[in-house]
Amino acid sequence: MSEKTLFGPYELGPLTLSNRIVMAPLTRNRAGAGLVPGALAAEYYAQRASAGLIVTEATQVSAQAQGYQDTPGLYTPEQIAGWRTVTDAVHARGGRIFVQLWHVGRVSHVDLLGGEAPVAPSAIRAKTKTFVNNGFADVSEPRALDAGEIPAIVDSFRQAAANAIEAGFDGVEVHGANGYLLDQFLRETANTRTDAYGGSVENRARLLLEVTDAVSARIGADRTGVRLSPVSPASGIVISDSEQAQFNYVVEQLDKLGIVYIHVVEGATGGPRDASPFDYSALRQRFGRTFIANNGFDLTLAEQHFAGGKADLFAFGRPFIANPDLVERLKTGAPFNPLDPATLYGGGAKGYTDYPTLAD
């Protein structure tokens, strides 16, 4: 791909990105005391600042929102200060960085929540595991959120978005994907509510849209993105026949809110792109701004999709872990470093900041 295309600049709202390659969110479980990102995180993200856009690891909007051990938050002064060191380091190298904001909902464990049960749209336990006590364990039984609790959920995202701007982020990505709370509300297999947040396509989309509206009203729609995963069975989600209608509606409404991008996982996260039938072009047609495509892309596939107008930006996940200079390697055809899977979750610098660049 020539420098005027995949490796050329791109205007994302008020930002100019140096290229069309996005570093996807990657959970690494290395936050320090108080769930504060530390000096290693600043080094890790700065090493990868040649990406056109970095979207950070998912970051909880409140203590209740945590679902995995040692994932960072963005709801205390210390966490804000910790993230400021990260954004300063990325900006010093000319990068752009959004923070992904999440609430995991039912994908959590009582040991992470002070003994409290995880919350969910309905009291349906997810058939999945979480990382807790330095290992993987089944998630805990959740309780259904009371309707009166939902405004506080919305407000936690709103406040975390404001905190993100205070921490120096260029914007935020609302995590509406991968089987976490906002995605749980979207799914008829996880949401059996009979109130205004359950039942119809419109009702199941209500919380995601309320959160996105609150975030964009607080920090600007041009600094707000949303991640979606229409057919990914991640985190115990069961896919039903209603997903096309559900996500067509969601994207139509997100377009009306004027947000700067949607970030769409095509297929099963980390798995096959054709996991379930779905027309991603229908989402592309319904959204008038930036479309980020994610899942299983290599340079050839990204080139093909770009040439066909299927997406504007392309997210790469695990290749960025072992290759901090992934953009240069894609551009020059250089080989990739091998990934050490034993160091993906938790630990220190090994497998985090010690992967060599081509210059090394």
Residue 4 has what pLDDT? 56
326 in a domain, yes or no? no
346 in a domain, yes or no? no
Residue 275 has what pLDDT? 77
Report CA Rg, the chain: 19
β-pairing, 129-132 vs 135-138, is antiparallel
Residue 145 has what pLDDT? 98
DSSP state of 295: S
Return d(Cα 338, Cα 336) in angstroms, integer. 6
Q: How confident is the model at residue 242 (pLDDT cuts 50, 70, 90)?
A: confident
Residue 5 has what pLDDT? 83
> What token pair was written down for 114?
């002070």
Return d(Cα 181, Cα 121) in angstroms, integer. 8
Asked whether the predicted pLDDT for residue 349 surpasses 50, the reply is yes
334 in a domain, yes or no? no
31 in a domain, yes or no? yes
Return d(Cα 132, Cα 67) in angstroms, integer. 8
Residue 1 has what pLDDT? 38
Phi, then psi, of 328 in degrees rounded to 5:
-65, -40
Return d(Cα 94, Cα 88) in angstroms, integer. 10
Give the pLDDT confidence of 85-128 residue by residue, as tens digits. Answer: 999 999 999 999 999 999 999 999 999 999 999 999 999 999 99
Mean pLDDT value of segment 126-148: 96
> What token pair was written down for 207?
């919380």
Burial 138-166 (b: 16+ CB within 10 A, else e): ebbebebbeeeebeebbebbbbbbbbbbe
309 in a domain, yes or no? yes
Asked whether the predicted pLDDT for residue 211 surpasses 80, the reply is yes
Q: How many domains does the chain have?
A: 1
Residue 140 has what pLDDT? 98
Q: Which pTM value belongs to this model?
A: 0.96
Q: Tell me the catalytic residues.
A: 180
| Cα–Cα distance list, 275 to 233, 266, 269, 304 (Å) | 9, 9, 9, 20
CATH number of the CATH domain containing 156 = 3.20.20.70
344 in a domain, yes or no? no
CA 33 to chain centre: 23
Q: What range does the domain containing 252 cover?
A: 10-313
273 in a domain, yes or no? yes
134 in a domain, yes or no? yes
Asked whether the predicted pLDDT for residue 3 surpasses 50, the reply is no
Give the pLDDT confidence of 259-317 residue by residue, as tens digits. Answer: 999 999 998 887 778 878 899 999 999 999 999 999 999 999 999 999 999 999 999 99
Of 8, 3, 2, 25, the C-alpha closest to 313 is: 8
Give the pLDDT confidence of 147-168 residue by residue, as tens digits. Answer: 999 999 999 999 999 999 999 9
